[in-house]
Amino acid sequence: MKKILSFLIPSLLVSGIASAEVSAETAFVFNTFLFIFGGILVMFMALGFAMLEAGFVRKKNTSAILLKNIALYSIAGIMFYLVGYSLMYVDVSGWIGSLGGAFYNPSADELALLDGAENVAAIADTGYSVASDWFFQMVFCATAISIVSGACAERIKVWPFMIFAAIMTGIIYPIYGSWTWGGGWLAEMGFSDFAGSTIVHSVGGWAAVVGCLILGPRAGKYSKDGKISPIAGANMPLAALGTFILWFGWFGFNGGSQLAMGTADDAIAVSTIFMNTFLAGAGGVIGAAIITRLHFGKTDVVQMLNGCIGGLVAVTAEPLAPSPLAAILIGAVGGLIVVYGTKLLFSLKIDDVVGAVPAHLFAGIWGTLIVPATNADASFSTQLVGVLAVNIFVFFVAYIVFSLMKATVGLRLSKEGETKGTDVTETGVIAYAIRD
């Protein structure tokens, strides 16, 4: 009897789910939960970025990198509340939103419900809580500037970086986001970027490229005779910990971007996205492991860690449509791109401390352009336009901002400050000091 019931009950439940429609209020609750839970996972990625960067920088720069990571998240949240969300989503007219939603707050109907009004129907049809949407979108914005932090580490002054973080999260990211997720001109063309390979990772990647170019390489990285001097990070266990945390948080990044979990279809979609996200990260790891062994004769753990991120970034543009095997292949190519992208930066004498540019920008371009291979509704030409648009816009604006700061407040540490380390010169807190 137990065996019969164990077979019948799941079948009956599935049948009920397939045929029944939940109420608007129930869908509202589940959708809001997805936004909140997904946002929490993405915010947890902040710890991943902090640990990854703390592992890849030298120990004399550890406190400063931690300072930047907690500061940039705080700045991102405030700027996205003040103007960012409004510019990205409120009354977008093709090119930019408006300031009509500045100081973005919960709706009047939601506040009335909290005050005891019996107006559930008035908010249920909106699909999700206003505040949950803001929170979910904000953590994506913060992720974009996190990419810049690691690439420009060990030689950028703290306060100029924080100024750039405010401009990046309040203006640059929201404007490009308005063209895409905000319903602007790229969205009208049919540009497809499910969870942000371009909108988040390429925006951050291009800003990182500009920062690295204007700052120049760290002292001793590239010699006049063309030799490359390896600069080892302080703590590989921290770097590995950061990568695992990022991998874990990525399920919120991609799964939350389904934006709904009020139906069985949505639940299956989120589950599929989770599966493909994991497999793409795994593909990136193995791809980097194989190519470094074949090309260099040794299996490079640094490239494997970044290969994982590259694989995750690559599938982020379309994590639902690919088959599991396709997700592995997309991620594996992302891992290969990380390895050869790193070599390209070396040849150009661009000093990216943590490998953010290959993992986020180059892999993001690949992931965006390959979307039409699995999503029949996407067009390669439109995807290419979206990639070129972010290239031109972010590069141009970031170049102006970094150049102005370099000419006014200063951007790079002095030679003495760089030698002593940013912990001493910028924070006064030494991360690895021996204390009584």
Does residue 154 come out as left (phi exceeding 0), alpha (psi in the -120 to 50 range) or beta? left
The amino acid present at 312, given as its one-letter code, is L
pLDDT digits (tens, 9 = 90+) for 239-252: 999 999 999 999 99
CB atoms within 10 A of CB 69: 24
Query: Does the predicted TM-score (pTM) go above 0.75?
Result: yes
Low-confidence ranges of the chain (pLDDT < 70): 1-20, 101, 109, 111-117, 434-436
- Tokens for 417, please give them: 């400050």
**What does the chain come to in residues?**
436
Output the pLDDT for position 115.
65
Task: Specify the fold of 23-427.
Answer: Ammonium transporter fold (1.10.3430)
Which residue is it, tokens 């590239």? 222
393 torsion bin: left (phi>0), alpha (psi -120 to 50), beta (else): alpha
Residue 110: what pLDDT? 72
Q: For position 215, what pLDDT does the model report?
A: 96
Task: Please report the pLDDT score of residue 382 as a whole number.
Answer: 97
Label each residue of the chain as H, E or C.
CHHHHHHHHHHHHHHHHHHCCCCHHHHHHHHHHHHHHHHHHHHHHHHHHHHHHHHHCCHHHHHHHHHHHHHHHHHHHHHHHHHHHHHHHCCCCCCCCCCCCCCCCCCHHHHHHHCCCCCHHHHHCCCCCHHHHHHHHHHHHHHHHHHHHHHCCCCECHHHHHHHHHHHHHHHHHHHHHHCCCCCHHHHHCCCCCCCHHHHHHHHHHHHHHHHHHHCCCCCCECCCCCECCCCCCCHHHHHHHHHHHHHHHHHHHHHHHCCCCCHHHHHHHHHHHHHHHHHHHHHHHHHHHHHHHHHCCCCHHHHHHHHHHHHHHHHCCCCCCCHHHHHHHHHHHHHHHHHHHHHHHHHCCCCCCCHHHHHHHHHHHHHHCHHHCCCCCCHHHHHHHHHHHHHHHHHHHHHHHHHHHHCCCCECCHHHHHHCHHHHHHCCCCCCCCC
Decide if 386 contacts 186 (C-beta within 8 A): yes
